[in-house]
Amino acid sequence: MKNILQISLLALIVFGCSPEYTALDEARVKELLEAAKSFDRDKYGFTPIQPSADFRLQMYGSGAYDVMLHINRGISDSILNKGVKTSRTVAFRKAPGGYQWVHEQEVFIGPNQFSDSFGTYYESIVLNYETVRVSGLGLDQLDISYTGRDSRLPLSPDLDEIRPILKEWGYYP
């Protein structure tokens, strides 16, 4: 995950394009969310995109994708409250007649903290799925990673292992 964040930061520096806050009812966001419906979120463990989320739009214009939609829901310093906390990025490529969904990442923040030599962090589960090379992971397959100290989860769990944990954390009904 650190590599993905470093790559994102590098892209911001090189291309000079920072995400702009936008509204759900803006035409560009509506068009992207319509394209995002092509991805079966439930099948791969992703949560539905919530209309109450915080949306930011980032235009690229080159590379593996043209537009990145950043969607944050409930992320705050008061992480131990029982609210749902996710951070999601969704990448799109310009296609004839609109946009095509090509990548999605959702980060689920857990309730427990752990420390290492770099600091103290909250545990997290990260889901990635992409159809073109965006993050360097396998194409057309779900990638799951866990960061934390929960002995029930290996560093690379499968979907059956994380579903009960995400339900326990309050992400699934």
What would the pLDDT profile of 26-71 be if each residue is shown by its tens digit? 788 899 999 999 999 999 999 998 888 888 888 886 688 999 999 9
pLDDT computed for residue 77 by the predictor = 42
Distance between start and end Cα atoms, the chain: 27
Give the three-class secondary structure for 35.
helix
Q: Which residues of the chain carry a pLDDT beneath 70?
A: 1-25, 61-62, 74-84
pLDDT computed for residue 52 by the predictor = 81
pLDDT computed for residue 20 by the predictor = 61
Distance set, CA 162 to CA 18, 67, 84, 116 (Å): 32, 29, 16, 23
pLDDT computed for residue 85 by the predictor = 77
Domain definitions of the chain by residue range: 2-168
Asked if 143 and 105 count as a contact pair (C-beta separation under 8 A), the reply is no
Q: Which residue has the tokens 């319509």?
A: 34
Tokens of 168: 């326990």
Phi, psi values for residue 74, rounded to 5°: 75, 10
pLDDT computed for residue 155 by the predictor = 81
Phi, psi values for residue 81, rounded to 5°: -70, 170
Alpha helices in the chain (DSSP H): 2-15, 27-36, 159-168
Round to whole Å and give the CA distance between 164 and 98. Answer: 37
Supply the pTM of this predicted model: 0.81
